[in-house]
Amino acid sequence: MNSASIKKLKEIVGENNVLDNPADLYVYGSDSSVHEARPNVVVRPQNTEQVQAIMRYANSERIPVIPRGSGSGMCGQVVPVRGGIVLDMKAMNRILEINPQDGYCRVEPGVVDDDLNKALKPYGVFYPPTPASSVVATVGGEIANNASGGRSVKYGAARDATLAVKVVLANGELLSFGSTTRVSASGYQLEKLMVGSEGTLAVIVEASLRFVPIPKLRCLGSAKFNKLSEAGDAIADIMGSGCQPSMLELIDKIAIIAVNKANNLGLPEVEAILLYEADGMAKEMIDVEIGKIQDICKKHKGFDLESSYEAKERARIWAGRAKLFPSLSKYDESLASTSLADDMAVPFSKMAECADKIHEIADKYGLVMTAYGHCGAGCMHTKILMDTDKEISWENARSAVSEIYDFVRSVGGTTSAEHGIGMSKAAAFKKEKAASLELMRAIKKAFDPNNILNPGKLMDGPDDWVEETTLRYQSS
């Protein structure tokens, strides 16, 4: 990109909305992953017309464009690996309509999840995906990543909430996909194709999202286990028993130690804790659900079972889980927490095996790895805690990641549950989806013939992320 390009972009969005000083380019070069690269410029569109003009110009000049929300993605989705324009969508953050009768809201993509839920609360409804990053995650990033969260076990992920979108294509054309009606059988559901597209197909400039009633009552409980596999077996049994928890989360010992160290919580440092929640309008029904879940936990040797309807007590129990990811680097301050093989999904019946496998592989390669996640929704998260200064750590991490994904595929699981693919999971994704990659490439070409939208991700991502020049850590 040259100075004429910067001048043109300033004409479109105004001088103040174009950033090209080194400090800004550094900040916009990374997300929550292990990757980084520098964009040529950051552009902050204020409206759809500006997005269209930027895309028309970038397409004519073949300049890469990387749509970006808050940059909280964990796999390098917004890392500008081929330079170009980072399109910061956060200024487009208006809530355009809240329609209680028809059960949807219409928003711009830069609206932050928590802000949307604050605006919806007076209507007695909420937008359910709510990832643990909801304090920063934008609606655009959630749709493009198919984000989910603690309550997705009952209320679904971003995919389920996305009724309709307006998008700007690579050539600047504005299109609407989907409908705000509750059902639709009108041909290809292109709005759903945007879900999980990671900014590679089009820029989302508006979304119509389904919301659901806020339950009157919530009861949160916990159970402790002396074996991780016992907690895993309890998850499978709970999900197979006809129970409908509104949350079911696993935390292993490594994660418990880390949250204790970071937040002084004093949680018992047992092998595993299950957190479960049931919600609804009537206490009698919630008590039955919680009772069933607790019976199953007991059957699998769960102990110290607690439960509470009290908001304060619920907040205490939930605090450990909510602070988990940022706390992991405290487990051992000589080790950094890296988002690698960080969120598989496996069938419920394989949860126990998967959790044990993660620890077995960690031991084999001398790494520290956690097992935790929104397990009721099928997620199994891990993080690799390692000395990132040492080349051997990266070699071991590469082998560990590869073995984890081999295991996940062998049990019918999938590479990502909710954090997406980006760069760090591209190799595993390509193995998992080998038979449909050509079809996906054809879809990409139909939307973006010049490959300007977020190149170098998904099918186009690296086969060996350790060899990648974008690694954020210097090994010696």
Ligand X SMILES: Cc1cc2nc3c(=O)[nH]c(=O)nc-3n(C[C@H](O)[C@H](O)[C@H](O)COP(=O)(O)OP(=O)(O)OC[C@H]3O[C@@H](n4cnc5c(N)ncnc54)[C@H](O)[C@@H]3O)c2cc1C
Smallest distance, Å, CB 422 to ligand X?
7
Stretch that binds ligand X, among 67-75, 183-191, 242-250, 304-312 (CB under 6 A): 67-75
Q: Of these, 154, 192, 419, 425, which contacts ligand X (CB under 6 A)?
A: 419
39 or 73, CB closer to ligand X? Answer: 73
Q: Of these, 195, 203, 250, 368, which contacts ligand X (CB under 6 A)?
A: 203
151 or 300, CB closer to ligand X? Answer: 151
Which positions from 271 through 310 interact with ligand X, judged by CB under 6 A?
none
Q: Of these, 144, 247, 296, 336, which contacts ligand X (CB under 6 A)?
A: 144
Q: Which two tokens stand for residue 24?
A: 């800004």
The mark string for 8-47 relative to ligand X (x by CB under 6 A, - otherwise) is: -----------------------xx---------------
Instruction: Determine if 76 is a binding residue for ligand X (CB under 6 A).
Output: no
Instruction: Determine if 64 is a binding residue for ligand X (CB under 6 A).
Output: no
Which positions from 436 through 475 interact with ligand X, judged by CB under 6 A?
454
> How does DSSP assign 120-163, residue by residue?
HGGGTEE-S---TTTTT-BHHHHHHHT---TTHHHH--HHHHEE
The mark string for 303-342 relative to ligand X (x by CB under 6 A, - otherwise) is: ----------------------xx----------------
| Separation of alpha carbons 82 and 462, rounded Å | 12
| Separation of alpha carbons 414 and 268, rounded Å | 32
**Contacts with 228 (C-beta within 8 Å, 6 or more apart), sequence order:** 252, 253, 271, 272, 352, 355, 356, 359, 371
Q: What are the start-end ranges of the H helices in 132-268?
A: 139-145, 152-155, 158-161, 190-194, 228-239, 253-263
345 or 386, CB closer to ligand X? Answer: 345
Smallest distance, Å, CB 116 to ligand X?
12
154 or 300, CB closer to ligand X? Answer: 154
Q: Of these, 52, 148, 260, 370, which contacts ligand X (CB under 6 A)?
A: 148
| CB environment 158-196: b (16+ within 10 A), e (fewer) | bbbbbbbbbbbbbbbebeebbebeeeeeeeeebbbbbbb
Q: Of these, 45, 64, 149, 196, which contacts ligand X (CB under 6 A)?
A: 149
Q: Of these, 40, 50, 77, 393, which contacts ligand X (CB under 6 A)?
A: 77
Smallest distance, Å, CB 198 to ligand X?
4
| Separation of alpha carbons 91 and 344, rounded Å | 32
Q: Of these, 76, 80, 84, 140, which contacts ligand X (CB under 6 A)?
A: 140
SS3 450: coil
**Quick one: which H or E segment has residue 297?**
helix 283-299
Give, in order, the Cα–Cα distances in Å from 117 to each of 73, 159, 218, 290. Answer: 20, 17, 17, 26
Instruction: Determine if 147 is a binding residue for ligand X (CB under 6 A).
Output: yes
Provide the greatest CA pair distance for the chain. Answer: 69
For helices 351-364 and 391-410, angle between their N-to-C axes, nearest 10 degrees: 160
Give, in order, the Cα–Cα distances in Å from 187 to each of 111, 190, 436. Answer: 29, 9, 21
The dihedral through the CA atoms of 344, 327, 26, 474 has a sign that is negative
Instruction: Determine if 384 is a binding residue for ligand X (CB under 6 A).
Output: no
Stretch that binds ligand X, among 21-29, 41-49, 198-206, 226-234 (CB under 6 A): 198-206
Q: Torsion angle, CA of 67/71/74/75, rounded to 10 degrees?
A: 30
The mark string for 160-189 relative to ligand X (x by CB under 6 A, - otherwise) is: ------------------------------
Stretch that binds ligand X, among 61-69, 180-188, 386-394, 429-437 (CB under 6 A): 61-69
| Separation of alpha carbons 115 and 134, rounded Å | 9
Using an 8 Å Cβ cutoff, are 324 and 259 in contact? yes
Query: Nearest-CA neighbor of 201 among 178, 180, 163, 173?
Result: 173
Stretch that binds ligand X, among 133-141, 183-191, 231-239, 282-290 (CB under 6 A): 133-141
The dihedral through the CA atoms of 336, 340, 343, 349 has a sign that is negative
Q: Which two tokens stand for residue 171?
A: 């050539």
Q: Of these, 55, 79, 81, 89, which contacts ligand X (CB under 6 A)?
A: 89
Q: Of these, 145, 294, 396, 470, which contacts ligand X (CB under 6 A)?
A: 145
Instruction: Determine if 109 is a binding residue for ligand X (CB under 6 A).
Output: yes
Smallest distance, Å, CB 164 to ligand X?
14
Binding site for ligand X (CB under 6 A): 31-32, 66-74, 77-78, 89, 109, 131-133, 137-138, 140-142, 144-145, 147-149, 198-199, 203-204, 325-326, 418-419, 454
